[in-house]
Chains A and B, each alone.
Chain A
Amino acid sequence: MEMKPVERGYYSLVRYRSDPARGEGRNIAVVLVDAEGQFGGVRMASATALSQNAHQRGFLDTMLRGFKAQFEGSSKPDLSRLKELSDQFDRSIQITEPLPTAVPDPEQTLEALYKAFVARAGGGGAEMTKADIADKVQAVYLKRGFVVRRSYYVKDVNFDLVVDRPEGGRLACEVLSFVTRAKTERGWLPVERDAGHFLYALQRVEMQGQGMAVVQPPVGDSPEQAQASFARISRWFDDADVPVHTPEELVSEQLPLLA
């Protein structure tokens, strides 16, 4: 099987130990570099997942954001720098020894490593909020050179995202998450209302056939109510011929350009 050449990069995990003496810790971020400092980045757990203690949370968030900022210039930290950091940080904050990884695409690799080592390990939580999903959709389409507008009004109705496509006209996109916990007595009703509003809005501005939904389905331990609500909105989208994709499909598959 022929394969396109894939770059090699190196990753470290940022671990936080609230009590260094006990040695227990959890992964709160992943750092990706290459040998020459050409690409790389940091993917960190959401601020709320860093620590239950507000003071610690603030400290960790500031530290990680500062670290992330080092990757924003043209000269990024390289493997040597990551090794130095790994040697220096060995108390409450640990940076693990860099390990090799294939990097077909830095953003995708960071996401994969984050999911594997931070989110699934409980550091970042597996929760993908509506905003997380919208970020992902926006990044995918921007990378393809499309104009993407967030929270955008078409005539008098608002869509989560609107993508300008060279063919097929605008694509209106709704993002929904059934993984984040329902924090109110209304449970998943707001999500259903969002879905209903989206379907109404497509009709209202005559964009039937130009809509797409990206939905984070409930996970195995989601409450039954989430599963039922997810099934309900899936039926609505199906009846309205609105394609539905998961956020995972956005990253690992080529998201169809057409709805």
Chain B
Amino acid sequence: MRSVGSAYPLAVPIDQDSIAKLDAKGYRPLLAHTPGRESSASYGKPRTFVCDDGKKYWLKNGAQSGLAAELIGGRLAKTVGAGPGAQIIVVPTAALPTDGSAADLEGLAVVGLENEANTVNRTQLEGMAPDKFDRNLIDAGSRALSVAFQTWIACGDGPQFLVNTNTGAVRSIDFGDCLPKVLPAGPPDLRVAPIPGVSNTLGADAQSVEAAVRKIEAVTDQQILAAVAQVPDDPGWDAAIDRRLAIANWLVERRSKVREVMKSWK
């Protein structure tokens, strides 16, 4: 942490040199310490691990669009405030469960998505009685931000989300099928993840949309560069520098198109 409110330059060159310069600094992974629960509800069957910063992360060793997409999506989600951050995490042998499960993570750098307390996913929300959680508490502003963000980074057909049952905030997660290997040309397609028991237009009001779009438009070129740089180039990451450069340019181009697409949300 250096300061509060320090502004990035508005525009920086987005080219291989800029990415390579950041890559040259290397990356500093967190180290997994101890395993927690496993989820079968997501691609790659993520499992929680407590890491050396004392936080729990959902570790994934596979993603449809490559682990780089998962990491870049998570980094950007944190930047705009749409979801929990993602980290590069290394799993030493000593951190693995002694029953042999999760052995596929041994010694690898994988992606960890920060666990958020008091949240439920779509399936859990479906099974939750209305008297346990009032759907009217779901926050329109964060729903709009989630839609804008998942539209920007082209999440797959079933964008994933969490709902915080304390605050009602909607959080974007699971970016493994975003930033597809063949980046789609043209304007973004609107991505509205249906939330069980909630109107599909919650968050589509002008005020919520405007606030959400502003957050996407406020992401600087420098922040996009930082999101695509310092990524492991191990198998399964699909992190060649030309792909990451293409992603960065594609994100910059789409950033200004989210506003128009969001207006079509009715």
Interface residues of A (CB under 8 A from B): 1, 3, 5-9, 11, 99-104, 108-109, 111-117, 119-120, 215, 217, 230-231, 234-235, 237-238, 243-246, 248-249, 251-253
Q: Are B55 and A115 in contact (CB under 8 A)?
A: yes
How many whole Å from A12's CB to the nearest CB in chain B? 12
> Does B64 reach chain A (CB closer than 8 Å)?
no
- In the complex, identify which listed stretch (B88-96, B124-132, B146-154, B194-202) lies at the interface while the others stay far away: B88-96
Min C-beta distance of B102 to chain A, whole Å: 12
Per-residue 0/1 for B84-104: is the Cβ within 8 Å of any A Cβ (1 yes, 0 no)?
A: 000000101111011000000
The listed residue (A7, A104, A111, A116) touching B31 by CB distance below 8 A is: A104
- The answer to whether A102 touches B54 (Cβ under 8 A) is no
Contact A102 B32 (CB under 8 A): yes
Partner of B94, one of A6, A112, A237, A243: A6
Chain A residues with CB under 8 A of B3: 234-235, 237-238, 244
Across the interface, do A109 and B33 meet the contact criterion of CB distance under 8 Å?
A: yes
- Complex-state Cα separation, A99 to B31, whole angstroms: 17
A100–B54 contact, CB under 8 A? no
Task: Flag whether B182 is at the interface (Cβ < 8 A).
Answer: no
**Is B5 engaged at the interface, CB distance under 8 Å to the other chain?**
yes
Q: Please give the residue numbers on chain B whose beta carbons come within 8 Å of chain A beta carbons, in ascending order.
A: 1-6, 28, 30-34, 50-56, 90, 92-95, 97-98, 107-109, 117, 232, 234
Q: Which residues of B contact A246 (CB under 8 A)?
A: 1
Across the interface, do A252 and B52 meet the contact criterion of CB distance under 8 Å? yes
Inter-chain contacts of B1 with A (CB < 8 A): 215, 217, 244-246, 249
Chain A residues with Cβ under 8 A from B108's Cβ?
1
> Distance (Å) between the CB of A125 and the closest chain B CB?
14
Q: Known contacts being A1-B109, A113-B33, is A252 close to B92, with CB within 8 Å?
A: no
Min Cβ gap B229→A in Å is 18
Determine whether the beta carbon of A234 is less than 8 Å from that of B32.
Answer: no
- Can you name 7 A-B residue pairings with CB atoms under 8 Å? A103-B94, A104-B92, A109-B33, A112-B52, A115-B53, A119-B54, A235-B4
Q: Are B95 and A101 in contact (CB under 8 A)?
A: yes
Q: Assess the B34–A101 pair: CB atoms within 8 A.
A: yes
Find B53's partner among A5, A100, A112 (CB 8 Å cutoff): A112
Is the Cβ of A238 less than 8 Å from the Cβ of B52?
Answer: no
Q: Which of A116, A235, A245 contacts B54 (CB 8 A)?
A: A116
The residue from B6, B52, B97 contacting A109, defined by CB atoms under 8 A apart: B52
- Which residues on A sit within 8 Å (CB–CB) of B4? 230-231, 234-235, 238
Task: Please tell me if the beta carbons of B53 and A251 are within 8 angstroms of each other in the complex.
Answer: yes
Which chain B positions have C-beta within 8 A of A113? 33-34, 50, 54
Name the residue on B nearest A232 (C-beta): B4
A sample of 15 more A-B contacts (CB under 8 A), given A8-B93, A112-B50, A116-B56, is A7-B94, A8-B94, A104-B52, A112-B33, A112-B52, A114-B54, A120-B54, A237-B3, A238-B2, A243-B2, A244-B1, A248-B53, A251-B54, A252-B30, A252-B53
Q: Which residue of A lies closest to B91 (CB)?
A: A102
CB A249 to nearest CB in B, in angstroms, measures: 7
Give the CA-CA distance A246 to B53 in the complex, in Å: 12
Inside 8 A of A101's CB, which chain B residues have their CB? 33-34, 50, 94-95
Contact in complex: B52, A1 (CB < 8 Å): no
Return chain B residues, CB-CB under 8 Å to A8: 93-94
| A250 CB to nearest B CB, Å | 11
**How many Å lie between the Cα of A249 and that of B117 in the bound state?**
22
Query: 10 closest pairs, A vs B, by CB?
Result: A115-B54, A102-B95, A101-B34, A8-B94, A102-B94, A238-B3, A234-B4, A6-B92, A116-B50, A112-B54
